[in-house]
Amino acid sequence: MPSRTAIRAQVRFHVTPRFEIFYALRALGETSDRTAEWRRGTEQLLPAKLYQKINDIAPRPMIWALLADTLRDARPDPPFAEVIRAIESLTDEAFQRAILGGVFRSDGTVETLMSRDLSLADAVKGEMRSGNALVSLLGLHPYNKSNPVVVAFNRVIAEPASYQSDLVLALNEFWSCAFRESWTELEPRMERLAKSMQEVLAENSLAEFAAQVKLPITFDDQRRAVASIRGSTTFAYTAVREIHIIPSAFNDTRIWGAYRDSPNSVRLYLPVFNPMLLQAEDTSPDPEIGFRALGDTTRYAMAFFLAESPTTSVELAKAFGVSKATISHHVQLLRAAGLLQERATEKGVELSLDRSAVERISTAAAAQMFSGESSRAIRRSRHQGSRKSSRGAAE
């Protein structure tokens, strides 16, 4: 019987565009406020012909999430060039099965669709009878043969090689016109987020970790099972072979994948959405945030400690005699103020105080205080005071 340590050992963190490019294409066709600024900038870079190609491939944006499953057998962290090679290497049957299998759940439906022994119209009717709401969300129901979604799925069934070729061309063009630039900005932010999540995992139980980073699954040690948040899908610890956690700037619907290699072997892919990844980073220090972080006596003492002796959060908790949850809270505030440097070591992520950050905050504070803009600071203070009063009243 697997232990908690065994299931924990299956967790891996990756930074890769394998899901992100598909989710970005989905976001391009939707109207979410979370991606509005990115979408406006990206739209200006894309030629009209590419837009038409994108819409022909996926008339409903959600289809792009299905197309990400064409990479189900690729290695967990492929760079973009390998994403393309993996899709190109698929046989017609493997390509069809990867896409259709994400929609049609009734036994034998995918195979009979591929063999043309079952029409798409009848397959949709069968899924509706079994209560599969996805066929409606994708636009396959009500069924209409002239519906662009129906046309696209019939292409997957009747002309898989042509559809596959168009998909590869669209991904390549989207990457070269726009998404390569987006990925260049996102990748280092994701690397830092992945490192931060690793630290959270090191300091907490799997269940606590899942809650803190907002995974779409839970870990139940009593039942020895991984379950979806809604509880509709459950996997025994013994069946979970791999758990891949991937930062995402676009997966705001929190889609995740479970790929079965056999009845007793499943690989979980969890693209973890974080809206902060799309926000432009401001390198100028905010003195208020810095002084607030250092204004607490415990955090000030921790800053002194980290200035003299770089250490891990676990060691810091022991030194100050506080719980891992408490130390995690203090570390997060110091990190948010930009006061920490972090380095991966054999014993975990080692923290140290960034002297240059402290100096930049002090310089910025002096510049603001002697700028002659005291009225702006007073207005800001009054605004914060009213917010505190409002919160107090609500509580």
**Average pLDDT of every residue of the chain:** 89
CA distance 23 to 134: 17
E strand or H helix that includes residue 269: strand 265-273
User: What pLDDT shows up at residue 92?
Assistant: 98
CA distances (Å), origin 83, targets 54, 181, 219, 333:
17, 17, 30, 37
Q: Would you say 236 and 6 are in contact if contact means Cβ atoms under 8 Å apart? A: no
User: What pLDDT shows up at residue 387?
Assistant: 42
Q: What residues of the chain score a pLDDT lower than 70?
A: 1-5, 280-285, 344, 346, 372-395
CA distance 391 to 15: 38
**Nearest of 345, 346, 341 to residue 358 by alpha carbon:** 341
User: What pLDDT shows up at residue 359?
Assistant: 85
Exposed e or buried b for every residue in 297-310, given b needs 16+ CB within 10 A? eebeebbebbeeeb
Question: pLDDT by residue (tens digit) across 234-289?
Answer: 999 999 999 999 999 999 999 999 999 998 999 999 999 998 899 765 556 688 88
User: What pLDDT shows up at residue 282?
Assistant: 54
Backbone angles phi, psi at 376, to 5 degrees: -65, -40
Query: Any idea where the domains of the chain sit in the sequence?
Result: 4-273, 287-394
Task: State the CB neighbour count (10 A cutoff) for residue 198.
Answer: 18
Which CATH architecture group holds 287-394? Orthogonal Bundle (1.10)
User: What pLDDT shows up at residue 394?
Assistant: 34
CA distance 158 to 164: 12
Question: pLDDT by residue (tens digit) across 140-169?
Answer: 999 999 999 999 999 999 999 999 999 999
User: What pLDDT shows up at residue 382?
Assistant: 46
Give me 30's structure tokens.
């939707």
